[in-house]
A and B are shown apart, each in its own frame.
Chain A
Amino acid sequence: MSVICLQNVSKKFVIHHDRPRSFQELLIRTLGRNHNHSREEFWVLRDLDLEVEQGETLGIIGSNGAGKSTLLKLIAGIIQPTTGKITVKGRLAALLELGAGFHPDLTGRENVFLSGSILGLTAREMRSRFDEIVSFAELEKFIDMPLRYYSSGMQVRLGFSIAACLDPDILLIDEVLAVGDEAFQKKCLARIDEFCRSGKTILLVSHNLEAVKQLCSRVLWLETNQPAMKGPAVEMVEKYRLHVWEEEAKKRAQDASAHGSVNQDTQSVSKTRWGSGEIIVSDVRLINRAGLPVHWIQCGDPLTIEIHYHVQRAVPDVVFGIAIYRSDGLWCYGTNTEIDAVDLGPLADDGVVCVDFPSLGLIAGEYTLDVALHDSDGHAYDYWHPYCAFSVRSHIQDVGVYRPAHQWRIGERRAGDAKEGKAHA
């Protein structure tokens, strides 16, 4: 049974560039006979059909401004569709903002009841949930204090707890997962997971693609200037990632042609670079199996990192190093020519040093690459943290950080079988 049904829903926003915002302006406009209304229309959603089944967890992804929040607001009834019809069956709670309606002068307790009634609950329903809310937020000691003395983290915790204990049939969540400290975020995710398993219908807007893949079965991908797409979560997330990379590559190409430089790397990553500059990194390229420079590779494929350098002043002691971080900051791997005992010999003024990975064992995800030139004491000549971002793609849904070569087998352990390590991944 579908609990949310959208038929042909479109939403148009109109920006009136010089619409009078006050009677004063209206009067001046009328007297001045200045009637050129310049208005700009844009469609955020166009002819969207969507059915969400009871108990389904639907992820909504897409670039900023693609209409994800607008869609949730339409379903919640906060704004009205320009055309089309939306039907919702069951009690709906929309978490578009945590702690909406909190008043700083009231105590935590009073705010819990106020917030509950804003979300449509009766006093009796709130009373029966009150203790659960307070203990989930871990605010027992402060609940009778005015909210103005709460830290922002405490307010957010209280806001989420109220929402989490609402027990609605349908829950709309818009990026509110990015709140609180890490421990609380985990708790929130666990709570949402619990919701999913207890048969609630959930619509989740998030930029945290890994969370979307974990929580959602199906994903709706909204994008400006292209029709909405629906499909299995993993497939849609990968398609979306591909799209983002293609867009970035296009932008890079445009920037490169605009600036006349060959390779201005990913602008989206915030970079830091330091060092004394005797020898500098002039370019870094990721080379795939086919020998082409890329910004993504398939999981399990070979990868070559080319570090192009330029010597400004000759120095006797140079170490080339790389490090790979996952997008959430996890340090996945790091090595350098000193650790690997590579003899570089005398360096030319301009040259290239390569690292070959027969198979980069990382699982699908977003990563960044650090590149460093330093001496053996750690004094940096040129240190890029990070140099660029890249992604690893895969259709395999394994989890963790890396994918060691492995295979599955049915039967007894073969004692003393020395050839076991042969992998078909």
Chain B
Amino acid sequence: MRFRSQLIVRFAELIRYRELVKNLVVRDLKARYKNSILGLLWSLLNPLFTMLVFTIVFTFMIPNNQISKFPVFLLCALLPWNFFQAALTGCTNSIVENATLVKKVYFPREVLPLSTVLSNFVNFLLALIVLFAMLWAFRIPLTRQVFWLPVIMATQLAFTLGLGLILATTNVFYRDTGLILGVVLQAWFFLTPIIYPIDILPTQRSILGLNLNVHRLTYILNPMASIISSYRVVLYHGAPPALNFMFRTLFTSVAVLMLGYAIFSHYSGTFGEEV
């Protein structure tokens, strides 16, 4: 009970510092785009280039590809993944990178990972412009299902921030968190249906004598699989998302966020001396 009321007090204080969150997001974005006129363009070109590489690999080098309009198919999943990856990496370093600030000024520490996630989110929204342009270019019509996007985004935001808060805390005490995260993210990328559709995962597969439903396991164990597939279903297929899994994922994400916030809150009092 006391723990919960503490969280509420913290949250109220965080709201008082919303101006700082806004300014930090603006700082991040301005600093990113100010140094080069190509800054904004570059952040749009980067996913396009990745898309091009994967398209070449999967359509010319591995030609028996059944997926039509592969570039859009890929981009629908690649952009949310890029957001996830950039936000997590940013969060991990957010406290350590701002050590001077943390040591010298009092403010709610969660402002730092939060603003990192949000500035990457703004970036993601900008990149969506390219995606919509691609959808138009490949004559994929937008359906009413697009209105599911805010729910999917909210789910992803909650999950990303929750994990980010945990990683930011861990990195204060163990500085190689970022290195480990790099390796984990790479594996995670391939375990998540980004460059392949989730439907190709087998429902029956015998591994070491165990009969596993890999398709279902992926859905259950990997929230990102559900989130990424939802983006793709809504944008590329124009179909309604699998509500069952989507709400389970939303629930999981909110739980991760609460856990992350609790862990972060518990340790953030010592950041001033540990960082």
Contact = CB atoms under 8 A, between A and B. Distances in A.
Nearest to B176: A22
B100 A100 contact: yes
Interface string A68-106: 000001001111100000000000001011001101011
Contacts, number: 81
A118 B272 contact: no
B170 to A, nearest CB: 9
Given A22-B175, A79-B273, A110-B27, A105 B35 contact: yes
A173 to B, nearest CB: 13
B31 A97 contact: no
Given A120-B17, A121-B19, A20 B104 contact: no
A123 interface: yes
A78 B35 contact: no
Nearest to B13: A120
A101 B105 contact: yes
Interface string B149-180: 00000000000000000000000011111001
B222 to A, nearest CB: 22
Contacts of B35: 105
A217 interface: no
Most chain A CB within a 10 A radius of its CB, from B27, B102, B105, B175? B105
B interface bracket (residues with beta carbon within 8 Å of A): 20 to 34
Contacts of A73: 272
Contacts of A120: 16-17, 20, 107
B106 A94 contact: yes
Contacts of A94: 104-106
Contact of A118 (B31, B34, B107, B273): B107
A23 interface: yes
B205 interface: no
Contact of B24 (A22, A97, A114, A146): A114
B269 interface: yes
Q: Does more than half of chain A's interface fall in helix, strand or loop, or is it mixed?
A: loop
Interface string B93-120: 0000010111111110000000000000
Interface residues of A, number: 32
Given A77-B106, A94-B105, A100-B105, A106 B27 contact: yes
Nearest to A123: B19
Interface in B5-64: 16-17, 19-20, 22-24, 26-27, 30-31, 34-35
B23 A114 contact: yes
B270 interface: yes
Q: Does more than half of chain B's interface fall in helix, strand or loop, or is it mixed?
A: helix
A78 B105 contact: yes
B31 A13 contact: no
A1 B82 CA distance: 55
A23 B270 CA distance: 19
A105 B105 contact: no
A40 B234 CA distance: 58
A121 B23 CA distance: 11
B269 A80 contact: yes
Interface in A7-40: 13, 20-24, 26
Contacts of B26: 110
A26 B177 CA distance: 12
A96 B272 CA distance: 13
Contacts of A21: 173-175
B36 to A, nearest CB: 11
B31 A96 contact: no
Interface of B: 16-17, 19-20, 22-24, 26-27, 30-31, 34-35, 98, 100-107, 173-177, 180, 269-270, 272-273
10 contacts: A21-B174, A22-B176, A94-B105, A94-B106, A96-B105, A101-B101, A101-B105, A105-B30, A113-B23, A120-B20
